[in-house]
Structure 1
Amino acid sequence: MKKTGKILILTVLAASLAGGGYWFVKQRAAQDPEKRYRTAELARGNVTQAVSANGTLNPVVLVSVGTQVSGTVRKLHVDFNDKVKAGQALLELDDALVSATARQSAASITSAQASLDLAVANEARMKALFAEEYVSKQEYDQAAQVLRSARAQLAQAQAQHARDQANLGYTVIRSPVDGVVIDRVVDLGQTVAASFQTPTLIKIAQDLSEMRIDTSFAEADIGAIREGQKAKFTVDAFPDRQFDGVVQQIRLNPVTQQNVVTYNVRISVANPDQILLPGMTAYVTIGVRQRENVLLVPNAALRFKPAESAPAAPAGAGAGGPPSAGAGGAKGRARAGQGATVHVLESGQLKAVPVQLGITDSRNTELVSGELAEGARIVVGENGGPAKAPSSVGMRMF
């Protein structure tokens, strides 16, 4: 029994020593900067700063066809996606009431014409009698006045008939442009009422080979956007394809929502294959600044902060910049013209270097100034979790 107990104690002691040795070796390896930190070489390249927003694809010309007269839809000549020509009949309204009104005004013309003929004859007769002094000047003037009134009534009846004829023609709704029907609001048998606001019956896109994107950019980004700048965008229907556009117009009318001011930016888009459809959501990116062949700092290096505080000069010292907000700041990246601190490995030691930054994209930031040269090993992260300092308390045995 005693021998067995000794063997058990020796076995546990050997296992403990082996575990402690493994732990000690691992801690030593974790403290080695060459193995602990992940690095990237400072290299030259191109960087483009961009602003992004969401927008909606719309036809360049979208015509809402309405009606000027009320009635019931009697015939439908077109449907969704039909191509139409200018002047082509789209639908017809029941013209019974309008036709009856037109016939009534035509009869009024006939009556006014008869009254005019009688007034002409009376005026001619009174003129002859007045010349022979058989009637007074007053009676002649009255006959002349009746003639003028009859002519005015005829003109009024003709104008009323012309209006009724126009309304009769309006019962046939025709396309004002060549295009494609993208929306039909009414159905056969539906009654439409034209009052102070003209109801929309059909929407026609004039040309789908040219589209536009209406999007809104925040006031913080609008100062860098100019007409003629190139834009790129994607749509959910084709996630693996990128489309091109051009900034066409920056509208001066601001829109304020929840204390955020935005401006509408219209982007013209070529759609020769007509695969982009009205109403699609576009994710637009506009490149506003570009630098070529400059030193690029990975944005991961700006977010990196060592677990233990490393001695460093104040960020921006010697580079004319303010204290760093880019290395581990809340936004995770520095803005153009801002000072920051990056860490490099030199001779196996971690060193903090203040730098001045330029424009940035989602991956890299331009290095404007700082004591860094091309090829410097910049720390971008740690290979594992932060290593703890070795404990001063000895390992306790049983």
Structure 2
Amino acid sequence: MAEASSKSSGKKRRSRRGWLILLALLLLGGGVYAYLQRPWESRAPQVRVEAVAAGPVTQVLAVNGRVAARNTVNVRSAVSGRALEVLAAEGAEVAAGDVLVRIDSDQAKALVDQARAALDAGLVQERQARAAAERAQALGDNATRSAREDAELSLAAATNEVVRLTAALEEAQSQLEQFTITSPLDGVVLDRAVDQGQLVDPQSNLFTVADLSELLVETDVDELYSSRITEGLEVLLQPVGESVARTGTVVFATPSVDPTTGGRAIKIGFDEPVELPVGLTVNANIIVSQQDNVLSLPRSAIVTEGHVSHVMVVEDGVVVERQVQFSDWPAERVIVTDGVAEGELVVLDPAAVTPGQEVEAE
């Protein structure tokens, strides 16, 4: 019994010693924290800042466009009628002059036949008039002067009538040709909007034919930035579904801004030949300018009120409002042209501080 009592007493002493050590460690930790943090003292709030530094900045304008063929033609009919034959399907490759559709031309053929018959009759009359004029000339003084003049006038009238009838026949034949619609260029039929038996007219688009040997991207830019877009600018093009960007160049910029959309249409050519479906969406990053040594700040650090912009700068632990000028551009960072110097600390969240406030730069 005495031995058991001794063991129990030893365990209690060891447990008490452990709690005393733990308490001592907690008191020591609290003392260190109090010495370092001094919670009884009021401290200035910490704010995130960025040190202004010079470096390279690229101004990029991001827009979305669509793949298009450089040469695309909407094929319409110059006449009205019923489509008898449709000889090209959507997606078909065609050559210039290939027949796309034939329209009922019975009436036009009848007009050609009438014009040809009239011309044949006119030629007969011309031959008769020429023969009469030649006889009158051969008779010489045996024929009266008025008879010779009448024969010459009849020949001239018959000749003029042949000229008129020839022109009428050519016009009728030209009209007949319009009932056969052919492809205006080598390319691919992108769209077919006519079926056999359908009535067509000059207002209806029948086919869209495009030369797919040279593709480009069509898009437009907001008028706010349109003056910075010129032919020859480099572009990074990333078609939807592709992970690798392709290089391109602005090849056309329309000289006017569309007043209804406020956009300026541009075309971007691929630097290397591509095979992409027409109409595919392409993300285009137009490289407007590249500068090697300029000051820049996050756009969120700049506050604009009316026509004046400012930033919050930390000077000797105090917030100071500083007016700045910058090159406005749709990007997370903008080029600052005046108001701050390299090395100054600019508050990244200007709404969180006020001028004259004491802060600690974080």
* Alignment TM-score, normalising by the size of structure 1: 0.66
Gaps of 5+ in 2: 1-33, 355-362
* C-alpha contact 1:211 1:269 (8 A) present in aligned 2: yes
Indicate which of 213, 236, 250 corresponds to 2:218.
213
Alignment of 1:309-320 (within 5 A): none
CA deviations 1:83-137 (Å, max 9, x no partner) are 11112111111222222222222222221122122222222233334x242x421
Runs of 4+ in structure 1 off by over 6 angstroms are none
Q: Following the alignment from structure 1 to structure 2, what is the Cα–Cα distance between the partners of residues 351 and 385?
A: 7
Structure 1 counterpart of 2:235: 231
How far residue 178 of structure 1 moved from its aligned partner, in angstroms, is: 0.8
Cα distance change, pair 52–140 in 1 and its aligned pair in 2 (3 A): same
Structure 2 counterpart of 1:200: 205
Cα distance change, pair 251–49 in 1 and its aligned pair in 2 (3 A): same
Cα distance change, pair 32–366 in 1 and its aligned pair in 2 (3 A): farther
Structure 2 counterpart of 1:93: 103
How far residue 286 of structure 1 moved from its aligned partner, in angstroms, is: 3.1
Alignment of 1:319-398 (within 5 A): 326-327=302-303, 329=304, 340-344=310-314, 349-352=317-320, 354=322, 356-359=324-327, 362-368=331-337, 373-374=342-343, 378-381=346-349
Q: Following the alignment from structure 2 to structure 1, what is the Cα–Cα distance between the partners of residues 256 and 160?
A: 51
Q: Following the alignment from structure 2 to structure 1, what is the Cα–Cα distance between the partners of residues 171 and 38?
A: 97
Structure 2 counterpart of 1:170: 178
Structure with higher Rg: it is 2
Cα distance change, pair 339–164 in 1 and its aligned pair in 2 (3 A): closer
Structure 2 counterpart of 1:20: none
Cα distance change, pair 162–342 in 1 and its aligned pair in 2 (3 A): same
Q: Following the alignment from structure 1 to structure 2, what is the Cα–Cα distance between the partners of residues 296 and 62?
A: 44
Q: Following the alignment from structure 2 to structure 1, what is the Cα–Cα distance between the partners of residues 170 and 190?
A: 34
How far residue 39 of structure 1 moved from its aligned partner, in angstroms, is: 4.1
RMSD: 3.8
Q: Following the alignment from structure 1 to structure 2, what is the Cα–Cα distance between the partners of residues 377 and 29?
A: 29
Cα distance change, pair 357–234 in 1 and its aligned pair in 2 (3 A): farther
| 1:363 alignment partner AA | E
Match status 1:250 vs 2:218: no
CA deviations 1:180-208 (Å, max 9, x no partner) are 111222221112234xxx65321211235
Indicate which of 64, 74, 78 corresponds to 1:68.
78
Q: Following the alignment from structure 2 to structure 1, what is the Cα–Cα distance between the partners of residues 290 and 63?
A: 19
Structure 2 counterpart of 1:104: 114
Give secondary structure in 1 for the equivalent of 2:212: coil
Match status 1:289 vs 2:324: no
How far residue 74 of structure 1 moved from its aligned partner, in angstroms, is: 1.0
Cα distance change, pair 372–146 in 1 and its aligned pair in 2 (3 A): closer
| 1:168 alignment partner AA | L
Give secondary structure in 1 for the equivalent of 2:127: helix
Q: Following the alignment from structure 2 to structure 1, what is the Cα–Cα distance between the partners of residues 54 and 186?
A: 53
CA deviations 1:310-368 (Å, max 9, x no partner) are xxxxxxxxxxxxxxxx23x369xxx9xx763234486xx45436374544662333455
Gaps of 5+ in 1: 1-24, 303-325, 387-398
Structure 2 counterpart of 1:184: 192
CA deviations 1:275-303 (Å, max 9, x no partner) are 2523x555554333332244443334x1x
How far residue 177 of structure 1 moved from its aligned partner, in angstroms, is: 1.0
Q: Following the alignment from structure 1 to structure 2, what is the Cα–Cα distance between the partners of residues 286 and 276?
A: 22
* C-alpha contact 1:38 1:379 (8 A) present in aligned 2: yes
* C-alpha contact 1:93 1:172 (8 A) present in aligned 2: yes
How far residue 40 of structure 1 moved from its aligned partner, in angstroms, is: 4.4
Q: Following the alignment from structure 2 to structure 1, what is the Cα–Cα distance between the partners of residues 183 and 258?
A: 34
* Alignment TM-score, normalising by the size of structure 2: 0.71
Q: Following the alignment from structure 2 to structure 1, what is the Cα–Cα distance between the partners of residues 210 and 243?
A: 27
CA deviations 1:136-155 (Å, max 9, x no partner) are 21122112211222222222
Give secondary structure in 2 for the equivalent of 1:119: helix
CA deviations 1:29-72 (Å, max 9, x no partner) are 996457x4334454553222344555554322212222333321
Structure 1 counterpart of 2:165: 157
Alignment of 1:257-276 (within 5 A): 257=260, 262=262, 264-270=264-270, 272-276=273-277
Alignment length, in residue pairs? 316
